Amino acid sequence: MTPKDFFDFAKKNNAKMVDLKFVDLLGTWQHCSYPIDIWDESTFEDGLGFDGSSIRGWQDIHMSDMLAVPDPDTKVIDPFFKEPTVSVIADIVDPVTKEDYSRDPRHVARKGAAYLKETGIADTCYIGPEPEFFIFDEVRYEQNQHTGMYRIDSVEGAWNTARFEEPNLGYKPSFKGGYFPVSPTDTYHDLRGEMVYEMMKIGIRIEAHHHEVATAGQAEIDMEFCDLIKMCDQFMWFKYIIKNVAKRNGKTVTFMPKPVFEDNGSGMHTHLSLWKGGKPLFAGDKYAGLSDIGLYCVGGILKHAPALLAFAAPTTNSYRRLVPGFEAPVNLVMSARNRSAGVRIPMYSASPKSKRLEFRCPDPTANGYLTWTAMLMAAIDGVKNKIDPGQPLDKDIYELEPEELAKYQHTPGSLTEAINALEKDHKFLMAGGVFTDDLVQMWIKWKREKELAPMALRPHPHEFNLYYDS
């Protein structure tokens, strides 16, 4: 789309404002709005200035000036502004060198897609995520010198079967009892549907939506797979739409992986496949119908999984989810159909076009641009080095004896372990200049200084149960 097409689109929709959006290092959208009549076609080359030192993980204050260059291909009408407003996603540029900014996550994904083509292995990486989330009625939390608490509530919460609701009509999904019930147990069908309709309005194709396993309004909405860059952009819209639809209905949504104790957490199983010349590359006559390339991609992802999780499961809370007993994939093995494996090969269809791998460890706090590009780089490394994924494990992993289970690699037990793994194993990310050492080191520094260190300083409420009367 040309800049002229952009302005024609705005005029057609009677939009007098533009909302410019871009993603910070950790995966959160930032935005600024402009009257459309101050833009012209040169805006799409020159960009718009902003303070990069105020964006998480970006510039120091003495080098704060940055440019946001809008991409006209990303234009849509924002669903949540009162007046018609064109929303557009920007790429970030250094104002002095005019080079793309190395810490801009969207730039990393663009480089990843280009590098895939350069390798000759494939020309397209398709991504299909399954983000899960909780819909709550209320959330309260506080942390200071003398208080540390959180409280969540949901009309669907299993803990509310005896609450005075004038009247309490029951139908609360039990712990681990929320998968696929019809109404009246599933009270959020219409709300999820409203979220889906808003996504469809801006061109996102949806495969399905449903209640998930946990109590208290856990949900899943699945987007149809598409190419890497498009899916990264869509994931930002996905979160934005879900949160805003919930808010206008008096609800609140969290993508936090483990907000509910002793129930399933929210993951983001991610499907990946490589294509070339319009043909799928993963279908073959090897294990689970995979080709050699498919197996090597699995091998690369399993080999680098501990480092990948520094991006794919990027919060301390992520590792409350990645524990045995809650359907979480804590063992880094390959399996057909077995949902307790780190990498699953879905067997729903025999069509070569449906052949893919499913990495089950990511969660929806991830920055899609970085996580899915890192997965692609691990897959490419697997093909380039013909990495063997090892023997598949088609048994119920949760039923294995400890001595047999000990033979297999496990996911990191904490964000600290994942960050340490990334520090030791990130050379594969640097191939083709896709990730830079500067970005990786900033990610490691941010996580250690801004998240891990503050968490280590604070007493946990359960510590009072354990130790107060010591």
Report, as residue numbers or ranges, the catalytic residues: 51, 130, 132, 212, 220, 269, 339, 358, 360
User: Are 267 and 132 contacting, i.e. CB atoms less than 8 angstroms apart?
Assistant: yes
User: Are 223 and 208 contacting, i.e. CB atoms less than 8 angstroms apart?
Assistant: no
Alpha-carbon dihedral 462, 463, 466, 470, rounded to 10 degrees: -150
Q: 201: alpha, beta or left, given left = phi > 0 and alpha = psi -120 to 50?
A: alpha
User: Are 56 and 26 contacting, i.e. CB atoms less than 8 angstroms apart?
Assistant: yes
As a whole number of angstroms, the distance between CA 327 and CA 262 comes to: 12
As a whole number of angstroms, the distance between CA 312 and CA 331 comes to: 15
Phi then psi for 227, rounded to 5 degrees?
Answer: -70, 160
User: Are 302 and 294 contacting, i.e. CB atoms less than 8 angstroms apart?
Assistant: no
Phi then psi for 190, rounded to 5 degrees?
Answer: -65, -35
User: Are 18 and 86 contacting, i.e. CB atoms less than 8 angstroms apart?
Assistant: yes
Count of positions (residues) in the chain = 470
As a whole number of angstroms, the distance between CA 291 and CA 294 comes to: 5
Of 309, 292, 295, nearest in space to 411 by CA: 309
SS3 372: helix
Could you give the angle at the alpha carbon of 418 between the alpha carbons of 412 and 424, nearest 5°?
A: 120
Of 346, 427, 80, nearest in space to 239 by CA: 80
Q: Per the structure block, which two tokens stand in for 278?
A: 């319009």
